[in-house]
Chain A
Amino acid sequence: MDKINREDAGWLVALAWLSALEETARDFHGTRPSVFSARAYEHSVQYYLHLLGDEYGMQIKKAGSIREAVENYIQIGVAGGLFRDAHFFELVEVNPFHLGITIHDCAYLKSCQALIEEGFSVRDLTCARIGCFRAAVKALANIDCEYQVTSFNVDGDCKGFIERT
């Protein structure tokens, strides 16, 4: 049996935990797991930011707007090895309270695809990516937002928005 290298193993374990979390949310909340998932994403982002600070001494910049918070988080994510490149994301500020987000080639596409195949609608998707961006806005800018996926896997792109509540 081939031994899996540690980097791949790390991603594998992270993916297993994320899938487990998403599935548990659906076990308990059915087709409306967003309240549970949104809270989980908040915890996840907060832990991640703390770990980067505590373990690696990274400075986490606070933000004054939704857009700035997401941009900071992407920057942190690239530095922290979470994202390969900032170009995987496109941000469009419709107004200061509404940010449109496009994600190219998302790492979580497969798990969302499985849900779509089971009959889920796009708006039922919890989207760990945009969900974590929303959590980052709360953590970095102290702005409480809601989010929604608006299109899924159109030529590999997913779209959604974050809007201030």
Chain B
Amino acid sequence: MKSLLQIVRESEDTAAVRAAIMQLGYERREEVFPALVEKLDDPNPNVQHAAVVALGRHGRAEAIEELSKPKTFHSPYHQIRWAAVTAVGRLGDHRVIDLLLKAAEDPEWIVRTEAVAELMGKVKDIIARKDVRLARILIYMFSLDNEEIVNLAMEGFQEMGLPCLEWLHEALRNPSPNIRSNAARTLGKMKSMGSTHYLLELFQDEEASVRAGAVEALGAIGDKVSIEPLVLMVQDNVDKVQDQAVNALVGFGRAAAGPRLTALSREGDKYAQRAFLKCLGRIGDPKSVPALINYLRSSYFIVRQTAVSAVVRLGPIVTRHLLATLSFNTYDIEALKRDACGRDSPELQLRAIKAIGGLEDHRAVGLLKELVEEGLPDIQEAASQALFQIGCSAWGRCCAMKALGEVGEPSIVPEILPSLRDDSDNVRFETVRTLGKLGGAEAVRHLVRIAGKDPCDFIRREAVRVLRTAGQGHAGVLDVARRLLKDPSRDVRVQSARLLGGDLDKKSIMPLLKAMADTYWSVRESSELALLNFGLDAGGMLIEALESSSWTTRFRAARLLGEIGDARAVPPLKAALNRRRERKDVRQVALASLEKLESAVKS
């Protein structure tokens, strides 16, 4: 040991000094400690580092005072800071926590990680001792962003139980939002009924995380006193708080359904409405079905969507209620429409418009729009109001149909078929989607009819699209798809080509070849992809297509022949390549296909 001390004091070889210092760390003699402390002032950072490590190993708590000095603990070298944190953690008890907390904010990640690891050790130590006086130290852990330490501290409080409540209640007034929030969450985990009024005070906190923490805690505690205030927190403008309030209320279950329904009926804010609906959907109380269905007709899209999701969560019990909402007026309204146009009698006109609005009859939309444009002010207002009623009613039917698509069974198909005659395009559109989901021969039969006849192109397109899956193996589907390759809407033609490519009926090859010359790229591309699925079966007709008068057909046929690998195509492709006045694009693709075919033959 003497020789080691001599090297440390006299040698100029840094490596030797460093090695000696490290070795001295394992010695327990009195004279070692001052020598190591002295080396903390060495100008060489390598020697300093070794001194820090050795002091940690040497095991004397007095070293903490030296190690915590700025020259070491805030050294510009992160390796020294790292070693200092390790040493302090090893030498100290809970009293070094302050130091470690500072190190947990070090700019270097490795120092932070070490500090957190040491802190974890200290927290475990405090918990093991179960000394309530030390619980106060755990409060400081709540200020950290490290979830692992925070959770550990929370577990510590849970283990120590009620005697710690005073500290936690005090922490709810701490200036640090992290401490307030985590203290609140801890009270929740402890299910401390006596803390309800302390937590309710935090609902006014300016920090959203604190409000969210308090809401979460009250949800966990489950004190019914907090239901009404929690309902109010659903109106918070911060998503996190709102979500926690919903979670908390869901925890109360059906017991709190009344206040929620009342609040929902008074609520005008769409985000709050959405939150209430989510809440009701998750609780799944059948009593809330009428309220939920009522929101299917909201003028807000996001509210309607949430109402659909909420209704779907309730499952098949809602089917009957939803079917009832699909009905629409089918009685003759011509007389009413005439009265609504009659400008000679303004009172009668107004009453007729209001009646149409009351009937929510979509057939009057065109007329009402005209009145909004040209009528007198009170007529315009009444017509706008009627349009609003009609529009919302249509959204109600639409959303009910959407929900039925999720919860319904094929047996309800006959009951939704009348909606294919609904005057609202949106309702018919959604009916088509629902029929596609429910499936079955009857649904397919009507989808085939709609695909060919509906006046709206997007509905025809959707019908063909859903037939791609629902219509597999059903009679008439392929015939209509082949016919619809000539539909005026390109979207319908695209979907038809895709459908034909999924069901390899040879009768479809020729119509698809013709569609490859469509004026729209998407149709041409979809037809080509469909023909690719036919493989060699399409080879003969593709070879013939190389003689087509349409260059785009020749181009795509040449490309396809290369892709499907039909060896018979070699001579016709060569002919196309040598053809006079052939387009450059066609020649290039013919050459590429020939190369593909020839390389396939060679391999």
Using a CB–CB cutoff of 8 Å, the interface residues on chain A facing chain B are 1, 23, 26-28, 30, 32, 94-95, 97-98, 118-119, 163
Contact = CB atoms under 8 A, between A and B. Distances in A.
B398 A30 contact: yes
A83 B557 CA distance: 41
Contacts of B301: 23, 26-27, 30
B426 A27 contact: no
Nearest to B406: A119
A163 B522 contact: yes
Given A23-B301, A27-B301, A94-B521, 20 more contacts: A1-B206, A23-B302, A27-B299, A28-B391, A30-B301, A30-B398, A30-B426, A32-B426, A32-B429, A95-B521, A97-B521, A98-B521, A98-B522, A118-B302, A118-B305, A118-B309, A119-B305, A119-B309, A163-B521, A163-B522
Contacts of B551: none
Contacts of A1: 206
Task: Give 6 closest A-B pairs by Cβ, nearest first.
Answer: A26-B301, A98-B521, A27-B301, A118-B305, A30-B426, A27-B300
B458 A32 contact: yes
A30 B521 contact: no
A27 B392 CA distance: 10
Contacts of A119: 305, 309
B26 interface: no
A30 B296 CA distance: 12
Nearest to A118: B305
Interface in B340-393: 391
Contacts of B77: none
Contact of B520 (A23, A118, A163): A163
B295 interface: no
A30 B433 CA distance: 14
Nearest to B395: A30
B305 to A, nearest CB: 5
Contacts of B429: 32
A97 B520 CA distance: 9
A95 B429 CA distance: 33
The listed residue with most A CB atoms (<10 A of its CB), out of B206, B302, B398, B458, is B302
A30 B398 CA distance: 9
28 contacts: A1-B206, A23-B301, A23-B302, A26-B301, A26-B302, A27-B299, A27-B300, A27-B301, A28-B391, A30-B301, A30-B395, A30-B398, A30-B426, A32-B426, A32-B429, A32-B458, A94-B521, A95-B521, A97-B521, A98-B522, A118-B302, A118-B305, A118-B309, A119-B305, A119-B309, A163-B520, A163-B521, A163-B522
A95 B519 CA distance: 13
Nearest to B433: A31
A97 B434 CA distance: 35
A11 to B, nearest CB: 19
A95 B520 CA distance: 11
Nearest to A120: B305
Contacts of A27: 299-301
A30 B427 CA distance: 11
A151 to B, nearest CB: 15
B384 to A, nearest CB: 13
A27 B522 CA distance: 30
Contacts of A23: 301-302
